[in-house]
Amino acid sequence: MIGALFPLAKPLLHRLDAETAHNLTLRGLAALPPRRPPADDARLSVEALGRRFPNPVGLAAGFDKGAEVPDALLGLGFGFVEVGGVVPKAQPGNPRPRVFRLAQDQAVINRFGLNSEGLEVVRGRLAARQGRPGRVGVNIGANKDSTNRLADYVTCTRALAPLVDFVTVNVSSPNTPGLRDLQGEAFLDELLARVVEARDTTHPASAILLKIAPDITLDALDAMTATALRRGVQGLVVSNTTIARPGTLREASLARETGGLSGRPLFAAATRLLAETYLRVGGKLPLVGVGGIDSAEAAWTKIRAGASLLQLYSSLVYAGPGLIPKIKVGLVERMKAEGMPQLAPVVGRDAAALAKLPG
């Protein structure tokens, strides 16, 4: 029903600025009556991060920053939802306007700057949903004005790990000054060591994931994957938004806005990085493929490149929630066509070829 209504609501929403439309969408989801997630085809089930996911299609961080509506989102058919990013102290983020639709490119640029209601608010909401079904993770970061960013990640991990299935360490947002510096080998090694220790002392069952940027070099990827493996991270999220601006963008004026670019133009670069990451970690770590997923074909390509799980966000701006069942149906059709009883045999099978695709 919600998917069917989106084509009617879309023209109205897109007349509003993007952030106002997003906030109205959150309010609408909050007003929905509770509903259980629809049953999924058993062939879509995925075993990863020590858990069973009913399907691989997840919602990326950034949509539900404050953990206001995770259960409503699960009710739309997502296999899992990642809330956040969350930082210890409430912060407003960057001034508005800070998010822009590039409609001709099916893309979004945002420079939110990790706006957050703060750790205590989010922890209260996640605690209130304990015992409900559905896989939920949380994305954590550091306050913009923090004097000890490593401590910020530790604080968030200790508080939130007992309440979620996984914690994603976000060192790759382009909108917090200096945050991507934490992707450097020495910083990252200490950061992951301390986050894993914090998780181990509070809730060892929660998985730790690391989210990386699509703009890193292959040498940096070598170092990051080695560090993640050495420090016992359970998975990698590939990738965040990009600061690059592909020459193919049609919305030339909006493309000049600063911030992270997401959506269809990110697909090729993010998928190449995903494939390169898979070639480095193989079956040692599950990968979450993010960036430009707007169809079943795109989702299938991410899985072939190495993703065990998927996340999308920007494509919902243009396609609405009806995209979720379309992707799941399309994946099942591909599996039927190839005689695959599960997705696992497809994961990474074409990583070597996809890593060589031109931009």
Q: Which of 146, 172, 173, 314 is catalytic?
A: 173
Sole residue written with tokens 């599996």: 335
The answer to whether residue 116 is catalytic is no
Instruction: Determine the Cα–Cα distance for residues 74 and 70; give it in Å rounded to an integer.
Output: 6
Burial (CB < 10 A; 0-12, 13-18, 19+), residue 347, is: buried
Q: HEC states along the chain? A: CHHHHHHHHHHHHCCCCHHHHHHHHHHHHHHCCCCCCCCCCHHHCEEECCEEECCCEEECCCCCCCCCCHHHHHHCCCCEEEEEEECCCCECCCCCCCEEEEHHHCEEEECCCCCECCHHHHHHHHHHCCCCCCEEEEEECCCCCCCCHHHHHHHHHHHHHHHCCEEEEECCCCCCCCHHHHHCHHHHHHHHHHHHHHHHHHCCCCEEEEEECCCCCHHHHHHHHHHHHHCCCCEEEECCCECCCCCCCCCHHHHCCCCEEEEHHHHHHHHHHHHHHHHHHCCCCCEEEECCCCCHHHHHHHHHHCEEEEEECHHHHHHCCCHHHHHHHHHHHHHHHHCCCCCHHHCCCCHHHHCCCCC
Q: Give catalytic residues, as residue numbers.
A: 173
